[in-house]
């Protein structure tokens, strides 16, 4: 199947018409079960396919696009690497209930097979349908992320396994990200790739000199010390339908309340980057609900938000508390923990705006508000805290909303 994306032609190996014969040829599904199977395409970042084998059994096939020269970026082989890490390294098997369950990777066709977890929804869909932001859910999200960071913190064996199994091209360039470079420079190609409206994003970025400086300072600030997801969005988190009871009653079982999925962009990185990115997700819920019209003054747009900031602030507070209760050492490691989270939240807002501009266009007033909030977070992180948390000071030692899950003992650092 061929698709045109961002004016480039890309090709996927599988479509609705040939997926069943592929599964049969590869002996992935018993041919007897295939006659009953139904197929549901799921177009996300990739062109994914859900194969319903029975009421209780579904398979998710993720496939990567091949470009015009017949190459893939290799993102799915990177995701497979994280699953192998959880499956093959006993010291890190704690990861298994915290991520999804992969069953095979077809290197040649770049197809990853995963168990489709029927008792979960992704958090983006959950918030879209429930239209409520329970702070306890955000607490469970923070706590889950902290387990992954804490469990791999300074673990040389983890770092060695992951870098050995990573693709050589990403291995070299991945110690410290260059934030300015990753924004992309305006080149003659940009004019071909981005709409005229989208160029406004680059224009505004250049207008704020202090913003560019603050972004450049993220590179020396960034401290790689554990496994991070590096692409945390609500759509990349799964929430169990019974998350409230799972959190208390079955913390270590398969039915984990929250799982982190879509590990294509993982890296050995800075944990405050991931947490900041999630804070940005909550802020985006507020920002995206602003009146989008160019004719509405920004002050009025802020007042008319259908998701007011006050609605997401309790979740932001509990997200950070849940994280810290599970990983209290993080504030010793990073005495400026909250300020770093603010800065990376600012970066998260800019990065998601850049992606929006690349795939769609510049979202008018909403985009301008998003950029201004990002600028405050990046240039004045301490002053931004009361705005983001909705309290003068976030006291991390406050009593948790739900009892914290027992933290595993910190593994020793290998020589």
Positions in the binding site for ligand ADP (CB under 6 A): 42, 44-46, 48, 60, 62, 100, 114, 116-117, 120, 122, 235-236, 238, 261-262, 264
- Which residue is nearest to Mg ion, using beta carbons? 262
> Is residue 264 part of the contact set for Mg ion (CB under 5 A)?
no
> Per the structure block, which two tokens stand in for 258?
């929250």
Select from ligand ADP, Mg ion, none the partner in contact with residue 100, using the beta carbon and a kind-dependent cut-off of 5 to 8 Å. ligand ADP
Minimal distance, residue 236 CB to ligand ADP, in Å: 5
For 177-193, letters b (16+ CB in 10 Å) and e give: bebeeebeeeeeeeeee
What phi and psi, each to the nearest 5 degrees, are found at residue 221?
-70, -35
| Contact between residue 120 and residue 241 where contact means Cβ atoms under 8 Å apart | yes
What residues are paired with 48 via a beta bridge?
42
What is the DSSP pairing of strand 111-115 with strand 226-228?
Answer: unpaired
For ligand ADP, which is the closer residue by CB, 49 or 158? 49
Minimal distance, residue 116 CB to ligand ADP, in Å: 4
Among 90-98, 124-132, 203-211, 231-239, which window interacts with Mg ion (CB under 5 A)?
231-239
Select from ligand ADP, Mg ion, none the partner in contact with residue 10, using the beta carbon and a kind-dependent cut-off of 5 to 8 Å. none
Minimal distance, residue 65 CB to ligand ADP, in Å: 11
Minimal distance, residue 262 CB to Mg ion, in Å: 4
For ligand ADP, which is the closer residue by CB, 58 or 375? 58
For Mg ion, which is the closer residue by CB, 166 or 262? 262
> Is residue 236 part of the contact set for Mg ion (CB under 5 A)?
yes
Dihedral, CA of residue 332, residue 336, residue 342 and residue 344, to nearest 10: -70
Minimal distance, residue 112 CB to ligand ADP, in Å: 8
For ligand ADP, which is the closer residue by CB, 126 or 222? 126
For Mg ion, which is the closer residue by CB, 229 or 321? 229
Site string for Mg ion, 144-183 (x = CB under 5 A): ----------------------------------------
* Closest to 396 measured CA to CA, from 222, 139, 140, 152: 139
Distance CA 262, CA 252 (A): 21
Angle at 55 between CA 49 and CA 57, to 5 degrees: 55
Minimal distance, residue 79 CB to ligand ADP, in Å: 8
Distance CA 45, CA 51 (A): 18
| Contact between residue 51 and residue 61 where contact means Cβ atoms under 8 Å apart | yes
Select from Mg ion, ligand ADP, none the partner in contact with residue 114, using the beta carbon and a kind-dependent cut-off of 5 to 8 Å. ligand ADP
What phi and psi, each to the nearest 5 degrees, are found at residue 42?
-135, 100
Minimal distance, residue 285 CB to ligand ADP, in Å: 16
> Is residue 101 part of the contact set for Mg ion (CB under 5 A)?
no
Please pick, from the candidates 262, 270, 281, 351, the single residue that binds Mg ion as defined by CB under 5 A: 262
Question: Does an H or E element contain 216, and which?
Answer: helix 209-216
In the window 378-397, what residues touch Mg ion (CB under 5 A)?
none
Select from ligand ADP, Mg ion, none the partner in contact with residue 230, using the beta carbon and a kind-dependent cut-off of 5 to 8 Å. none
Distance CA 285, CA 370 (A): 11
Question: Does an H or E element contain 116, and which?
Answer: none
What is the torsional sign of CA 394, 399, 400, 404? positive
Provide CB contacts within 8 A for 17, sequence distance 6+: none
Minimal distance, residue 41 CB to ligand ADP, in Å: 11
Classify residue 66 by its DSSP letter.
Answer: B
What does the binding site for Mg ion look like in residue numbers (CB under 5 A)? 236, 262
């Amino acid at each position: 199947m061929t698709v045109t994306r961002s004016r480039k032609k890309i090709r996927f190996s599988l479509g609705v018409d040939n997926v069943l014969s592929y599964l049969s040829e590869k002996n992935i599904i018993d041919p007897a079960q295939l006659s009953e199977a139904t197929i549901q395409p799921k177009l996300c970042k990739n062109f994914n396919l859900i194969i319903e084998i029975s009421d209780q059994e579904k398979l998710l096939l993720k496939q990567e696009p091949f470009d015009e020269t017949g190459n893939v970026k290799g993102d799915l082989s990177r995701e497979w690497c994280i699953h192998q890490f959880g499956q093959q390294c006993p010291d890190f098997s704690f990861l298994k209930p915290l991520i999804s369950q992969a069953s095979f990777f077809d290197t040649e066709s770049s197809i990853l097979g995963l168990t489709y977890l029927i008792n979960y929804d992704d958090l983006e869909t959950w918030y879209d349908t429930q239209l409520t932001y329970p702070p306890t859910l955000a607490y469970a999200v923070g706590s889950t992320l902290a387990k992954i960071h804490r469990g791999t913190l300074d673990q040389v064996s983890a770092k060695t396994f992951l870098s050995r199994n990573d693709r050589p091209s990403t291995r070299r360039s991945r110690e410290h990200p260059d934030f300015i470079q990753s924004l992309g420079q305006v080149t003659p190609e940009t004019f071909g790739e981005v709409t005229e409206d989208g160029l406004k994003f680059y224009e505004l970025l250049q207008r704020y000199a202090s913003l560019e400086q603050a972004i450049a300072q993220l590179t020396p600030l960034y401290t790689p010390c554990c496994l991070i997801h590096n692409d945390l969005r609500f759509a990349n988190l799964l929430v169990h339908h019974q998350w409230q009871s799972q959190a208390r009653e079955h913390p270590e079982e398969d039915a984990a309340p929250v799982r982190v999925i879509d590990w294509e962009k993982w890296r050995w990185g800075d944990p405050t980057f991931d947490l900041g990115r999630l804070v940005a997700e909550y802020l985006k819920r507020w920002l995206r609900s602003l009146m989008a019209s160019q004719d509405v003054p920004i002050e009025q747009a802020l007042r008319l938000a259908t998701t007011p900031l006050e609605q997401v602030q309790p979740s932001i507070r509990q997200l950070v508390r849940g994280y810290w209760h599970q990983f209290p050492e993080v504030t010793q490691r990073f005495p400026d923990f909250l300020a770093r989270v603010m800065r990376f939240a600012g970066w998260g807002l800019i990065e998601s705006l850049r992606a929006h501009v690349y795939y769609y266009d510049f979202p008018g007033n909403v985009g301008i508000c998003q950029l201004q909030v990002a600028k405050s977070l990046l240039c004045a992180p301490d002053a931004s805290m009361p705005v983001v948390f909705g309290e003068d000071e976030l006291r991390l030692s406050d009593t948790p909303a739900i009892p914290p899950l027992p933290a595993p003992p910190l593994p020793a650092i290998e020589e």
